[in-house]
Structure 1
Amino acid sequence: MLNNILQISHQPQIEAMFMKHYKEWCLLSYSYMEDMSEAEDMVQDVFVKILNRKKNTEILDLKSYISMAVRNTSLKKIQRTKKTEQIKDYNLFALSPSHEEYLIDFENKAKISDALRILPEQSKRVFELCVLEGAKYQNAADVLGISINTVKFHLKKAYKILRFTLRKTYF
């Protein structure tokens, strides 16, 4: 049937494949997602990506290709949601630090703050943007008007100085 060579540009054949095997792929995704609406979204996302591809590559077995894409998309979604899950069902009183832990944490923050003041100005700005604020290297480079390699250099330099300065500090 469609197991022979099929180019991505054959949209009617892809649509026919979608109509014929949609429920099958939804069940496949559901076996990972455990939520049918999420599973349907995963299958639809896969087909949108396939139809919007600009490459004119050949696919030897379209059904297997789509099955693997649905599986991989579902697994990636699960990984993303696990990373963003909040802490649940913990006793917040048990997690609250004691006065002693609070003082140790305060001292460590003071040591880190002192170590950050030692950094050269450009390295400090790069470190604050990339590490403390979570900016991507490209964004930091654009903000500071420097190249990505310069950002990497200043981060490496900052980490080296901080490691040396804080080598006797236990966190």
Structure 2
Amino acid sequence: MELNKIEDIIEKYFQGETSIAEENQLKEYFSSSNVAQHLEQYKPMFGYFSQAKEQKSTHEIPLLPKTRNKQRKTAWLSIAASTVILLGVGSYFYVSESNNSNTAVASKTELGTYDNPEEALAATQKALALLSNNVNVGIESVQYINEYEKSKNKIFKQ
């Protein structure tokens, strides 16, 4: 009867379902001298656990002192990051201001009106064709996303 109980506990042990009391029963059983022959293979494992429990580490782990170098590195990194951000923001405003001044000069010279209705029609068709091409590219991208969503839903059955 006890052998069957030990075999059941071993099976539960390898599935990770044993309690502390059951594990203690296994340790007691395998530390005794009357272990069944087909269970002898587990004896070194449980013997190792009891030996490892008794071992104490004498190795001293040195604690690293906090140095000022780390603080200095952090300070320099934060200064460098701030400088990069300021340069980026300044560049953006400089470029946007120069673009605004160029478009202001162009808008004063070109009013966007046409005297000839055929030129106006041609320019309008050209602008609408450009708009249509860009919208079609966007719609194709959305279709790829829809196809991806359908495939994902089939795979994950949502």
Q: Greater helix percent: which structure? A: 2
What TM-score comes out, normalization by structure 1 length?
0.29
What TM-score comes out, normalization by structure 2 length?
0.31
Higher relative contact order (CA 8 A, sep 6+): 1
